Amino acid sequence: MFNWDDIQVFLAVTRAGTVRGAAKELGVTHATISRRLRELEKRLGSELFERSSTRHKLSTAGHSIFDAAVRAQENMAEIDRRAFAQDRSLAGKVKLSVLESLYMAVLNEKFHLFYAENPLIEVELVTSEQLKNLAQREADIVIRITNSPPEQAFGRKLANSPLACYASADYLANRPELDRWVALEHETAREPIIPARLVMTTNSLNVSAETIRQGTGLGLLPCFIGDKSPDLVRVPETPLIPDMEIWALMHADVQNTPRVRALINFIYDVFDSEKGLIEGRI
């Protein structure tokens, strides 16, 4: 009999291409991945990967079991989802995945209201930029900023999320003749919308916002960050820039589970109340 964890290890190494990458994905040590992979190969009597100093590539034996391993993972995930969906209790865990900056700006200050109404629900919060796999129950609910939500997911659009140009009050009081631009590694926010020279490019919303707060330059931020910060002001005579949408999504199998429904309804209510802020209308 196979240990299901070994199949997960095999698939994680296949996806990541390295033991280290698989360890990061599964949240275990490098040594654990190597050990479990060796045990699986010993049980099968074949090496599943062609190893080099930098990559693990599927061997002929690895290719031969790959499709079956994927089907096994999908079947185990379906069993997990269906079993979870039968739990009618308002007690227990719900997994929520949301961008940290979005959680802090919109949900954080109101989450105590959810617990007041649902004291026995435990929220497992994952503040990740990666879209968690709903089918694998990496999350029960995901809130994502995207213009192309997965078609197979259930949920709804929460709000538009435009960008606006922000600076610190000190920067504007001592504004240079040629502005300094803090760019986000994001297509809509990378290029200056006014004459400016580039001083920083970052892929982090939090880093970009903090850099602008410090007076290093000005730049584009989502309104739910910029308008919520007392240290930032919109740069006069700059327009709102249409950008992405915010969606709350669930898998069909778990959407009517009572504690998932309790959390998603709370999320809908909070985002409805904060929609003017998020869309830059306040």
pLDDT, tens digit, for every residue of 232-258? Answer: 999 999 999 999 999 999 888 888 889
- Mean pLDDT, rounded, for 25-49: 90
Question: Is there a contact between 40 and 10 (Cβ–Cβ < 8 Å)?
Answer: yes
Please tell me the predicted confidence (pLDDT) of residue 91.
87
Same domain, 63 and 119: no
Same domain, 79 and 97: no
* CATH code, domain carrying 71: 1.10.10.10
Please tell me the predicted confidence (pLDDT) of residue 141.
92
* CATH code, domain carrying 222: 3.40.190.290
Range of the domain at 42: 4-85
The yes-or-no verdict on residue 49 having pLDDT over 60 is: yes
Same domain, 72 and 139: no
The pTM of the full predicted model, rounded to 2 decimals, is 0.73
Task: Give 143's pLDDT tier (boundaries 50, 70, 90).
Answer: very high
Q: Which tens digit of pLDDT belongs to each residue from 8-31? A: 899 999 999 999 999 888 888 989
Same domain, 265 and 161: yes
Same domain, 9 and 68: yes
The yes-or-no verdict on residue 135 having pLDDT over 60 is: no
Same domain, 208 and 96: yes
Phi, psi angles (nearest 5°) of residue 127: -95, 85
Task: Give 136's pLDDT tier (boundaries 50, 70, 90).
Answer: low
Give the list of residues 6+ apart from residue 4 with CB closer than 8 angstroms, or none. Answer: 72, 76
Evaluate the CA torsion angle 66, 68, 70, 73 in order and state its sign: negative
Same domain, 98 and 81: no
Same domain, 13 and 79: yes
- Around Cβ 74, how many Cβ atoms within 10 Å? 12
Domain count for the chain:
2
Q: Which tens digit of pLDDT belongs to each residue from 148-162? A: 888 778 899 999 999
